[in-house]
Amino acid sequence: MAATNEDTIATRICRILAERIVTGELEPGTKLRQDHIAEEFGTSHVPVREAFRRLEAQGLAVSEPRRGVRVATFSLEAVREVAEMRAALEVLALRHAAPHLTPSILDQAEEATVEADRARDVRSWEEANRRFHRLLLTPCGMPRLLAAIDDLHAVSARFLFATWRSDWEVRPDHDHRAILAFLRQGRTENAAAVLERHVQRIGQKPAKNASGGAFAIVG
Amino acid sequence: MAATNEDTIATRICRILAERIVTGELEPGTKLRQDHIAEEFGTSHVPVREAFRRLEAQGLAVSEPRRGVRVATFSLEAVREVAEMRAALEVLALRHAAPHLTPSILDQAEEATVEADRARDVRSWEEANRRFHRLLLTPCGMPRLLAAIDDLHAVSARFLFATWRSDWEVRPDHDHRAILAFLRQGRTENAAAVLERHVQRIGQKPAKNASGGAFAIVG
DNA sequence: TCCGCCGAAATTATAGATAATATTGGAATC
DNA sequence: GATTCCAATATTATCTATAATTTCGGCGGA
């Protein structure tokens, strides 16, 4: 059994809606109508409302009382804000995780990097990239910090998918490799510095891919 | 009319419960029973459940599916974690806010410091302290960052109230004054450095007040 | 005396129904 | 022809009721 037994209905609805918002299937500003969603999932609207509250907390939806819930919009400024928050928090997490990083973990992170470089589409690149970050940060043992970073990752991924809808080009990720190299040498501060720059690249204008007003998102 | 017209019932319940949890009126681990709370507020349990979801997101309550919601417990480790997150995020906010700080704002922050030094009880000290931080950080213009800091502040305040239940001694806050002095000179990085140390004092053992296993919380 | 089992009570989670509010379209007026 | 007002509609926020799950007490057996 894998898909059927999700803890609570609200949890499942929240997860699925979050995925739709992040991947761009639900566009910014779209109205989320509780009765329609309830009907789609074959439930009443009560769990739907609970799911809304969670999406709101994650910054994926905004709710105006008596006027409904909408998919959150995002500006270039919001992208930068999230990038800076991620940079600050991931550096903090890495500093605490570094002492607990084993060669095995670093090897797995390297595998994730290789997989990201081989990715043929945004979706699989994002998954590998996220795995890389998670592998390095989880050993910090700070659950609240990790949860906050996860939420920011979701928002970042949203920007990522919005920018690179279909055209995705493979680029080897030098930052990831540099971070791993420093960590293998025990040079945590150097690794943290690279990570900080790396994450802040989110929201920067692309170097060459200047078609339209699109902006590049990595990290 | 001030108290009657709160946007939505769920919002009001959430705010009041949050206050009770933060001040310690509701102790860690206490079961939050939706029907009882609904009865107290004269509503059904549906808005209560929505309030629970928000409290959960703020880290003030934890919910186990089908087993109810409890006031979140906190360990010394959790205190340190929140302190470090606050340090990282407040430094980030201060760096962005610094260019927009006016003499008027700095004067108001100084007033808040004076007021904190004069505070006769924890409650009013906390309020003045929070105002100090908010005044300096709000001009950064990063709403998501400020919201995250606010949530962390609430959790910090919880630890604060839990530690200093009744015995509160006045101590002039040198850190706040140093931060203001640096900001007046335009030395943002020095101010940020002091702020970082300052916030991280949360969760450190007290210097002299070593009665029982209590730990000091400031910030 | 201690352990496990069973049943009643309490509590959560969901469904269906109702009241209040916002939105939309059209008609009347300027 | 444009604008404002009003009624019909759609949607949200809430309440009441029902089903399912957990907890807690006592009871019997080892």
Q: Residue A86: its chain B contacts at CB < 8 A? A: none
Is residue B218 very low, low, confident or very high in pLDDT (cuts 50, 70, 90)?
low
The predicted pLDDT at position B164 comes to 84
Architecture of domain B9-71: Orthogonal Bundle (1.10)
Residue A53 near residue B50, CB atoms below 8 Å: yes
Which residues of the protein have their beta carbon within 7 Å of strand D? A 31-35, 45-46, 49, 63, 65-69; B 8-10, 42-47, 50, 66-67
**Type of residue found at A196:** E
The predicted pLDDT at position A206 comes to 53
**Collapsed DSSP state (helix, strand, coil) of residue B69:** strand
A94-128 confidence digits (pLDDT tens): 999 999 999 999 999 999 999 999 998 899 999 99
Give domain limits for chain B. Answer: 9-71, 76-200
- The CATH number that domain A76-200 falls under is 1.20.120.530
**Contact flag A11-B82 (C-beta cutoff 8 Å):** no
Nucleotide nearest to B37 (CA to C1'): C11
Residue A208 has pLDDT above 70, yes or no: no
| Consecutive H or E run containing B64 | strand B61-64
Residue A81 near residue A124, CB atoms below 8 Å: no
B90-133 confidence digits (pLDDT tens): 999 999 999 999 999 999 999 999 999 999 889 999 999 999 99
The DSSP symbol for B68 reads E
Nearest to B10 by CA among A56, A43, A42: A56
